[in-house]
Structures are given as C-alpha cells and as structure tokens.
Chains A and B, each alone.
Chain A
Amino acid sequence: MENFFSDNPALKHHLTHPLMKHIIDLKERNYVEKDQYDYAPVDFEDAMDSYEKVMEIIGEICGEVLAPNAEANDHEGPQLINNEVIYAKGTQESYQKLVDAGVYGMAMPRRYGGLNFSIVPYVMAAEMVSRADAGFSNIWGLQDCAETILEFGDEAQKEKFITRVCKGETMAMDLTEPDAGSDLQAVQLKATLNENGEWRLNGVKRFITNGDAHIALVLARSEEGTKDARGLSLFIYDRNDKAVKIRRIENKLGIKGSPTCELVFEDAPAVLVGSRKMGLIKYVMSLMNGARLGVGAQSVGIADAAYREAIKYAQEREQFGRPIIQFPAVYEMLTIMRIKTEATRALLYETSRAVDIYKAWDAISEERKLEKEEREEQKKYSKKADILTPILKLMSSEYCNQNTYDAIQVFGGTGYMKDFPVERLYRDARITSIYEGTSQLQVVAAIKGVGSGLISNIIKEYEETPIPEELIRLRERLMTLTQQYDEVSGYAQALQNTDAWDFLGRRIVEIAGNIIMGYLLIFDAARNDYFVNSAEIFIKKIESENSDKSAYILNFKVNDLALYQINDQEITQ
C-alpha cells in the first residue's frame, strides 16, 4: 500500500509542531463541540490523532489512486462536450475517491459539514495531492475559495455554498480577463442590478482554472464608469443557473489534467459577497493569499515528486560500472534537491501556522471582543503571514522548477523522453512561478517587508528563539548573513530611487528568504536530528548565494539602470 503520508516522515514532523497545541486550542474553544458532533475531538491529543488519521486516509488515496492516474490524466486531459467540461477518466476517479472519503472542506466549521481542521493539515493534504498529480491538485485546491465565503459572505451564502463544498462540489476563482492578468484593476466584466434588484454578470473571463466548477467566485465591475480597483466587487455564481458559455479549454504546456477555460457570462445571475467596491481591495487580496499558500503546497509537492523520481533512477542506473548516485556530481545535485524541498516545506508550514493563528483570532473576534494581548497576537501573525506568503510563493515555485530541471538532468537522455514522469513534472512545475502572481509580483509584495522592517523583526525573533547548544554554531553563521542583509538592504534604500529598488528587489528578497529558511531548518533540527544535516547544507548553500547577490547589489549604481534599459532603437534593430 502506497501512502504519501506515512512514507514521508517530514509531514508528521511538521504536523506535530509545538505551536499546534495553541492553534488547535484556539480552533476548538475548549472542545465544546464534542457533545454536538460525534467526530469532534475531546482534547488536544484527540484532535492531533484525528489530524493524523485523516492525513493517512488522504495519503493512501494519493498513493493508491491519484499518483497512478496522473500520467493518463496528463495525456487524456479534459474535454468540452455540450458546454460542459468532462474531466479525464482518471481525474473523475481521483475526485470521486476524495469525495467518498469525506475530506472536502476539512478546514471548514462543523456546522457547515466540515471537520474544523486547522490550515496546516489542509495545506499538507494539498502537498500530498500535488506530489501525486499536480494537474489534479488545482481541482482539489480551489476549494480554498470557500474560505473567502466563510470570511466575507453572509449566513445564507455560507449555508448554501459551504455545505455544498463540504460534500465535494468544486470551485473556481474567475478573476483573469484577456486584458486583466497581473493587473486585476483592469477587470471589465460587468455586474449590473436588474429591476428586481438582482445582480447579473456579462462579459468574458480567460485562463480560468476549473472554469466549469459548481461554484465560482467572480470579480466584476459593479460601478459603471469606474476604471480602477474601487469599482470592482466580488460575486458568487452557481453553475446550476447555467448562464455561462464555455468557449474553449486551453491547450497548455503542463498541468494538463486541469481544465483552463475561457468563459462568457451571459446575463448570469450572481450574488454579491460582502460589500460593493471591496472586491479587489479586500476580498481578492485575501483569496489570493490563500491561493499563493496553495501554490506553495503545490510547488513543494512537485519538488518532492521530482526528487523521489531522480533518486530512484540514480540508484538503479549504472554507468562506468556503478550506480550513478555514487558520482559526486550526481549526489550533490540530488542532495541539493532534497534540501530545497525541505527548506521550502519548512517555510510552507511556518506560513500555514501564522495563517492559522490570525484566522482563528479573526473567527473568535466575531463572537466576542478580543483582549489587548489577543489582538496583538492576531496582528503579529497576520503581518507575519502577509510577508511569508509571497516569500514562500517565490522561493517554492522557483525551487520546484529547479528540482524538475535537475530531475531530468539526473535521468539524462532518458528523462528527455516521454517515457518517465519527470518530463511531466517539468512541464507541470513551470506554471507555479507564473500563476497567482508571478515571481516578479511576489517580490513586489515581499519587498514591502524589507522597507518596513517586518522581515528584520521576523529574523530577530528567530534569532532570539532558544535552540540546543550544538546548533548555536549554525545560528552564528546566519547572524553573519543577517548583518550582510542589513548592509545591502540599507545600501539599496540609500540609493533613494524606486527603479533601483525594484531592480534590486529580487536579490534582496531572496537574501532574506534564504536566512528565514535557514532558521526554520535549524528549528527543525532542534526537534529532529535528521534535519541537522539539512540545515548545515542549506546554510552552506546560502552563504555562497547571499555573498554573490550582496556583491552584485553593493556594486550597483543608479546610473547602471541605463545600461539595462532597452530603448526603441534597439528593439527595431
């Protein structure tokens, strides 16, 4: 029996992080629901045991059903028949198994049919699903949209839609349009009120993942004559209303099992989420943060799958009379692949825990006024999540691309053929650094944390966290890197030029991200000796990387921008 939870001890390590006690206590409020629901935990240990049990169920489905289906789903892909998206046969089976296991909506409250799980196991499920079938992981992961309805919808909407998601109905977020990709302020799809006071949607959406979902969140322009974000509102469209034409399914490079659709809304009925004009400014920002965490999970899952394929092949493949894994050039590559997976996985769950804590306080604050200390904790973790999320999205998606690239390298010519899954992983990985905000846009979000000092605060807190004696030598090395970070970020800020700041942004954010992941691996090592080696290697790697980036930044002058700028003359040449 393949089981993607039990064959990966790192998952249990992250699931049992000491902060989980606090998180679960916040989510379960003295375990009051135990008398109301026979599946609610009676105490913390019981809750943790439940998390593990459900992770085992999902891990088994991933290993036994999803992973074996992945290859065929990639070849077969979805079809558009009579304005309906028909998933590949294997996709249908994978979906049905997860529905039968009752695991959809696990992070939703019990009163809507969920399991009231924290974000950590939910993200862990996404990681396992992605390792098994990255294309399918989009169909699974979009249930995340329910979180937005839970946070901002009214009670009737929650009862109507979240209960359906918990039964396995799929979701989509309809944001992108032909002329509104990264720049969502340019969304044009029109929302108008008819004479009965009901909203109707008209217009086109493009590149919509799982476009034929049962329930879709749609960003639309509700305020006529406006041109920016303040004219946009968020709506829920129910597929049962049959008012959307699916124009086509895109033919993509990767994640081919996941249908990406072009949609035409034809006077489609919809209900407004929350308040008018807050669509992009508030709700989509929250939606996007969830989606970015999801891409983080997807990236770690793909990175792990690539590593596993590569190491298996390197053990079996013999050249020059021995398995290629024995050659330094190969085992170095493999070990770096493993470390990249572990470092971004550490960041994935650190971010998830931050989201868990502030969202738990958000939910409590709807029932009672929070005390001062509680509000402070809510704010602290909310800020932490806001900064870690783009760093996670950036680093994990880039690492995942690097891992699949290296996996093909380990396979050599064989990997370039369509005979092994590494070529699929390579194609699947490519989207992760593009959708839900490109890497370049993640830098824009994360660099704010450099300017505001938030990143320094996070690093400071890590620095002050007690660790075992034998790991102090590693921390000292990170403290040296932190001084370097202070120096280069100070230097870049002192240039007092926004273009220069943007130009250097990626390097500065990566320097900071590296330090953060270095600390997280030290904390992992503090709880589990296995990670001592990981932390050691990762810190070695970033010492050289950060020096390189720092030298580049410190050598940079504002005038250098002109060297890189591309003028019209050059383009026409």
Chain B
Amino acid sequence: MSFRIVVLAKQVPDTRNVGKDAMKADGTVNRAALPAIFNPEDLNALELALQMKDEIENAEVIVLTMGPFRAAEIIREAMYRGADKGYLITDRKFAGSDTLATSYALSLAVKKLFPCDVVIAGRQAIDGDTAQVGPQTAEKLNIPQITYAEELVNITKEHVTIKRRLERGIEIVKSTFPVMITVHSSAPDCRPRHAKLTLKYKHARTLSELQDEDNDYIALRDSRPYLNIQEWTVADLNADDAWLGLGGSPTKVKKIDNVVLTHKEASVLSSSDEDINLLMQELIASHVIG
C-alpha cells in the first residue's frame, strides 16, 4: 500500500518586500501590487514532505491549495520540486473565508484523499499570521497534530519522529499515522525546482486556466494525464454552503489601522566620558541593565 502525504499550501501576496503601493487607502492589502508567491512556511512543509517521500518506498506527495484560478501556479511549483500531483480547491463560494471556513473546506478535501498518512502545512501564512488553519483542520479530521515542526528526525511506515521548535527549547515527539504536522520557518529550506521535473510539468494546467489562455499544447494533455491539474468545487467536496465563505466565517475585521511607528524623543550623545556616564545612569535607572 502506498504512503500518502498531503501538503496544504497557499498562494500569498509577498508581504516581505512591501513597496508604497502595498496597502490600499482603506487599509486592506493591495494584492495587485504584490507578487503572488508560495507561502514561505508551506515551502518548508513541502520540503519535509519530500524528505518523507525520499525515506519511504512508494510514498506520494499530493498538494492541496485553495484559492483563485491563478493559485494553480502553486501546484506546478510544488511539482517542479518533487510533488506528484495536486488539486486546486476553487469556487466563488469560498471567497471571504476566514480560518474556520478554510479549514472546513480543506478538511473535506483531505477526506476525499483518505486514507492518507500525513497532512502537512506551514505553521502560518504571511498574509494573515494566524497559525490556526493547520490545527483547525486536524481537529475537524479528528487526527493528532504536531505543530512547530523543525526537523524530520525519523520516519518509518509506522511512526514519524519530529523535532519541534518552541519558544524556550525543543521537543522531540513521535506519532503514529495519520497525523497533522505544521512546519516552522526554522525547518530546512525547500529544495530548488528540478530542471527535468520543471520541463516535465511546465504545461500542466487546470481546465479554468486553459479556457483563459491561448495554449498550444492541448493535444499533449490527452497522452499525458499528469498535465491535467484537477479542480474541486463546493459540489465536488459535498460542502455545506452555510459553513463556507463570508457566511461561514465568524471572524469579523472591525478595523484596520495603518500604524506608522515614530520615536517621540531622541537625544544625541557623543562618545565623551561624560555622555557615556549619563547614558549608563539612564539605563540603570530604567532597569535595562544592572
């Protein structure tokens, strides 16, 4: 029997290098001005998944992503690095989902792929920083979870041993399968895109993408089924509309502030003994040192 690893990955706006157009006047993220990228910690998760695949015979890595049509790019990116295939969960009804609605949809999609052994995702996405989707998905699937994974210590067909990175140290934990793992950014970087895999999968498209582009390689798809990326809609997941999208999302954003940090007072000190003495006294008085 094959060993199935499901990676949950998200396409996010690149909030790491924000220019001045990054935010709209109303304080929401201007997605058009930011390049769409593979969420960084999801790449760490993909790497751990691929390491598991390297260790276990007949293992397969499947990528699940939820998002608009263009999020299919994430699935191709993952296949270029060694994932076997992927599914794009896409439907207008998903729009506006918070973490609860997202994890509901993801858990249904994972169930479609059952039996699977490992579900793995980045700890959090850089556009929200909630770190809730992984744990919520595990709860809905009713499987154990290992969060903050940093290193794959060991894996066999029966157990996985993971090193967790915690605020005040590390923890080594062992679990049976199935298990949900969320991965911390201190885990190894993802391997690069592999040239041959990139050339093999570069024509992979979803049906929606094909409708939108003038594609010369449609004929190839009949002889090479792996070039067809499947899309799953609400209907495919048998999801309950009430739990989806805005309606299924109890999180309400009350207000978004654009915070500009300013220093209120500043004093310039020279390197004279006198000034250094003053500084030391101030630091001792404020209990920074001493």
- Interface on A for B, CB 8 Å cutoff? 38-42, 45-46, 49-50, 53-54, 57, 60-61, 97, 100-103, 106, 115
Interface residues in B138-192 by Cβ distance below 8 A to A read 191-192
Which are the 9 A-B pairs with shortest beta-carbon distances? A39-B199, A101-B192, A102-B195, A102-B194, A39-B196, A38-B200, A39-B200, A100-B191, A50-B199
* Of the residues A40, A53, A101, A115, contact of B202 by C-beta under 8 Å: A53
CA distance A280 to B261 in the complex (A): 69
Would B192 and A60 count as touching, CB distance under 8 A?
Answer: yes
B217 proximity list for chain A (CB < 8 A): 42, 46
Evaluate contact between B224 and A38: CB separation under 8 angstroms. yes
Q: Contact check, B194 vs A54: say whether CB atoms are below 8 A apart.
A: no
Closest residue on chain B to residue A40 by CB atoms: B199
Tell whether, in the assembled complex, residue B199 and residue A115 are in contact, meaning their CB atoms are under 8 Å apart: yes
* Known pairs A45-B216, A46-B217; A100 contacts B192 (CB<8 A): yes
Q: How far does the Cβ of A427 sit from chain B's closest Cβ, in whole Å? A: 29
Is B210 interfacial (CB 8 A cutoff)? no
A50 CA to B201 CA in the complex, in Å? 11
Q: When A39-B199, A39-B200 are in contact, do A57 and B216 touch as well, CB less than 8 Å?
A: no
13 contacts between A and B (CB under 8 A): A38-B199, A38-B224, A39-B199, A41-B199, A46-B217, A53-B199, A54-B195, A54-B199, A60-B192, A100-B191, A100-B192, A101-B195, A115-B195
- Determine whether the beta carbon of B195 is less than 8 Å from that of A106: yes
Q: What residues of B have a CB within 8 angstroms of the CB of A50 in the complex?
A: 199, 202
B220 / chain A contacts, CB cutoff of 8 Å: 42
Centre residue among B192, B217, B224 by max chain A CB count within 10 A: B192
Q: Which residues in A have their C-beta under 8 angstroms from that of B193? A: 57, 101
A225 to B114, CA, bound (A): 75
Is B51's beta carbon under 8 Å from chain A?
no
B198 within 8 A of A: yes
Q: How far, in Å, is A107 (CB) from chain B's closest CB?
A: 12
> Residue on B with the closest CB to A60?
B192
User: Chain A residues with Cβ under 8 A from B192's Cβ?
Assistant: 57, 60-61, 97, 100-101
Q: Given the complex, which residues of B lie within 8 Å of A53, measured CB to CB?
A: 195, 198-199, 202
Query: Does A54 contact B198, Cβ atoms closer than 8 Å?
Result: yes
Which residues in window 188-244 of B have CB below 8 A to A?
Answer: 191-200, 202, 216-217, 220, 224
Distance between Cα atoms of A162 and B204 in the complex (Å): 30
Query: In the complex, which residue of chain A has the Cβ closest to the Cβ of B16?
Result: A1
A106 to B198, CA, bound (A): 14
Contact code string B39-83 (vs A, CB < 8 Å = 1, else 0): 000000000000000000000000000000000000000000000
* Docked complex Cα distance between A53 and B199 (Å): 8
Hey, which chain A residues are within 8 Å of B198, CB to CB? 53-54, 57
A103 touches B195 (CB 8 A): yes
For the complex, what is the distance from the CA of A101 to the CA of B200, rounded to whole Å?
Answer: 14
Q: What are the residues of chain B within 8 A of A97 when measuring CB–CB?
A: 192
For A49, list chain B residues within 8 Å (CB).
202
Chain B nearest CB, measured from A49 CB (Å)? 7
Whole-angstrom distance between the alpha carbons of A46 and B200 in the complex?
11
- A42-B217, A45-B216, A46-B217 given; A100·B199 CB < 8 A: no
Which of chain A's residues has its CB closest to B219's CB? Answer: A42
Task: Give A294 to B198 CA distance when docked, in angstroms.
Answer: 26
Instruction: Kindly report which residue of chain A lies nearest to residue B37, judged by CB atoms.
Output: A1
* A41→B202 CA distance, assembly (Å): 11
Most chain B beta-carbon neighbours within 10 Å: one of A39, A41, A45, A103: A39
Residue of A nearest to B196 (CB): A39
Could you say which residues of chain B place their CB within 8 Å of the CB of A61?
192
* Chain A residue nearest in CB terms to B191: A100
In the complex, the chain B residue whose C-beta lies closest to that of A110 is: B196
Q: How far is the CB of A364 from chain B (nearest CB, A)?
A: 23
How many angstroms between the C-alpha atoms of A50 and B80 in the bound complex? 13
Shortest beta-carbon distance from B13 to chain A in Å: 14
Residue on B nearest A101 in the bound complex, by CB:
B192
Residue ID in chain B nearest A43 by CB atoms:
B216
A186 and B83 CA atoms in complex are apart in Å by: 54
Name, among A53, A101, A106, the residue most crowded by chain B CB atoms within 10 Å (CB to CB).
A101
Min CB gap A253→B, angstroms: 32
Tell me, in angstroms, the Cα distance from A100 to B193 when the chains sit together.
8
In the assembled complex, which residues on chain A have CB atoms less than 8 Å from the CB atom of B202? Answer: 49-50, 53
Contacts of A115 on B, CB cut-off 8 Å? 195-196, 199
Q: Which of B196, B202, B220 has the most CB of A within 10 A?
A: B196
A474 to chain B, nearest CB (A): 38
| A60 CA to B189 CA, complexed, in Å | 14
In Å, the complex CA distance between A50 and B203 comes to 11
Closest to B199 in A: A39
- Least CB separation from A113: chain B residue: B196
CB-defined contacts of B194 to chain A, threshold 8 Å? 100-102
B89-106 toward A: CB 8 Å interface, digit per residue (1/0)?
Answer: 000000000000000000
Q: Given A54-B195, A57-B193, A102-B194, 14 other A-B contacts at CB below 8 A?
A: A38-B200, A39-B196, A39-B199, A42-B220, A46-B217, A53-B202, A54-B198, A57-B195, A57-B198, A61-B192, A101-B192, A101-B194, A101-B195, A115-B195
